[in-house]
Amino acid sequence: MIRQPRLVVVNPSPDLYGADLQMLQAVVAAIESGWHVTVVLPESGPLVERILEHGADVAFVRYPVLRKANLRLGSLLALAVAAARSLPASVRLVRRLQADVVLVNTATLPWWVLAGRLAARPVVGYLHEAETTGSRWVRRALVLPFQLTYRTIVISRSAMTAMTDVAPWLAGRAVLIYNGVPGPDDRIEPASSTAETVQLAVVGRLSPRKGTDVALRAVARLRRQGIDARLEVAGDVFSGYEWFEDELRVLAAEPEMAGAVEFSGYCSPVWPVLKRAQIVLAPSLNEPFGNAVVEAQLAGRVVVAAASQGHLESVSDGETGLLVPPGDDEAMADAVVQLVADPGLLAKIGGRARDEAQRRFSVPRYRHQISTVLDEVHSA
């Protein structure tokens, strides 16, 4: 009897955001390709139920996760100590689960790459990050662990460029696989172009990097022009960024904005939010790919996106969305005015965006590419 191959997937958190949801798609791809999959998490959370629903197992072991807040000497030293302490248990777990391949999701778990190698298992890295700011040495240190992988899956050309800019020799083991983004179960009707109120939405974590404040300032500009613009903010904060949400709520409470901004918190599925919106704002200043943009396109909504990183790969300006300079709330407001003034443009771009997103970022294409990489590593 042929033994079923075993894949161990290590994820940094039990959350349900972009990299976590994409990991779920990779899990399904592996299961459909005949793998037995176990997902390793540092703690329990909402992701666990989704993993079990898809037919994978879950294992828990304590391990640290690299965050931007750790990129200081004192924090890095403390993190290194914690990682060293967790390493023996990680190696034992990989061996106990009889892993044939270990998939390490994101660059925040470099010690798991080492754990897989110490357990004498081939490791596949999954790079979701595209860091282009800060010290070149720090950026190089973030991607150097991928030197120990057999293959590294990279989610976008932006992520590939960010990696190879500081470690060009990693290009030989990297493979570009764009995310596969599931669409709504039922087709969402085109956005209304006649409503007196302009309903906008922004979807994603509340953080300075995501530029949520830019979206709010754009709405303030629209309202000063006499346009009844409303904004739904769908997302919550990383622990430690509560101060940023407080700032957003202060901004939303200003007289010109009073009653125009709704904070919905984390929303899954996101389709009800997108159904309510006529136009979706994507102000992120640093977005390696941006599932939220593709989800909006799959809903047939026009996206006004900051022209940065992954947005340049998912949005063709004037064809499948509108691009504006990053951090420019005036340009974002002007783009909304342009769309509101031309209902035909709103419908044309929305329809074209849906068709292109279905073609380029389909789930079947993604799962096929993921299973091909896993099978290649297993048979090597």
DSSP 294-352: HHHHHTT-EEEEESSTTHHHH--BTTTBEEE-TT-HHHHHHHHHHHHH-HHHHHHHHHH
Q: Report, at the CATH architecture level, how domain 6-180+362-379 is classified.
A: 3-Layer(aba) Sandwich (3.40)
CATH 3.40.50.2000 domain residues, the chain: 6-180+362-379, 198-360
Interval 268-299: pLDDT, tens: 889 999 999 999 999 999 899 999 999 999 99
Report the CATH number of the 198-360 domain.
3.40.50.2000
* C-alpha separations of 45 from 20, 209, 256 in Å: 12, 24, 39
Q: What is the pLDDT along the chain (380 residues), one digit of tens a residue?
A: 678 999 999 999 998 888 899 999 999 999 999 999 999 999 999 999 999 999 999 999 999 998 766 566 556 677 888 888 999 999 999 999 999 999 999 999 999 999 999 999 999 999 999 888 777 888 888 899 999 999 999 999 999 999 999 999 999 999 999 999 999 988 888 887 667 899 999 999 898 999 999 999 999 999 999 999 999 999 998 777 899 999 999 999 999 998 999 999 988 889 999 999 999 999 999 899 999 999 999 999 999 999 999 999 999 999 999 999 999 999 999 999 999 998 889 999 999 999 999 999 999 999 999 999 999 999 98
